[in-house]
Amino acid sequence: MNRHRHVLSKFTLIAVGIISLIALFTIFNSPSINPSFPKPDVSSFSNSNMGKIVHIVMFEFKDELSAEAVKDVCTRLLALKDQCLHPTTNTPYVKAGMGGRQNSPEDLSAGFTHIFVLEFANLADEMYYLEKDPAHLAFVKSIKGLLKREQVVDFIPGVL
């Protein structure tokens, strides 16, 4: 009997994890299942510098939006990696940023067409990004009315 050991690449494991998260959060964050899904309690984090945060953003654009407009939004979101500057050091603080058009063959995207993954060194950096960063806040304001739906999930690698 010939046995083969399959070794999954790190990228494959991350992709499977992201797809699983999308499916779970789409199901359990659905208004028909839970209309008032609560925000996670970040106060349980004993230290805002406890470790890196992976921030996943998923968009479904309105049907009437042109391909050029979709590309513009995506390009501007990816540019935030370099445009968002730390308030103290005045240097970029988004550690990694990638994304693109959803292309999973598994028909589990729930209609989301574009997925982006950003990485922050710690919770304090992510909270600054979400609540105070002028570049991010301007981007969020600029996409109002362009999306049919959006969904955002975060995780700390290894925290189960």
- Mean pLDDT computed over 133-159: 97
Angstrom distance (rounded) from CA 18 to CA 93: 23
Residues contacting residue 118 through CB under 8 Å, at least 6 positions apart: 54, 55, 57, 80, 81, 94, 96, 97, 129
pLDDT at 10 over 80: no
**Which listed CATH number (3.40.50.360, 3.20.20.220, 3.30.70.100, 3.10.20.30) goes with 10-35+50-155?**
3.30.70.100
End-to-end Cα spacing for the chain = 37
pLDDT at 118: 98
More confident residue, 50 or 103: 103
Strand blocks (E) in 2-76: 53-61
Tens of pLDDT along 58-114?
999 999 999 999 999 999 999 999 999 999 999 999 999 999 999 999 989 999 999
Counting beta carbons within 10 angstroms of the beta carbon of residue 58, is it exposed (0 to 12), middle (13 to 18) or buried (19 or more)? buried
Q: Which residue has the tokens 């399959």?
A: 6
| Cβ count near 153 (within 10 Å) | 17
Query: Are 84 and 94 within 8 A, CB to CB?
Result: yes
The pLDDT of residue 133 is above 70: yes
Does the pLDDT at position 25 exceed 80? no
Q: Average of pLDDT values for 132-158?
A: 97
**Which residues have CB under 8 Å from 113's CB, separation 6+?**
59, 60, 61, 101, 102
Rounded-to-10 torsion of CA 120, 52, 22, 111: 10
Q: Kindly tell me if the per-residue pLDDT of 5 is higher than 90.
A: no
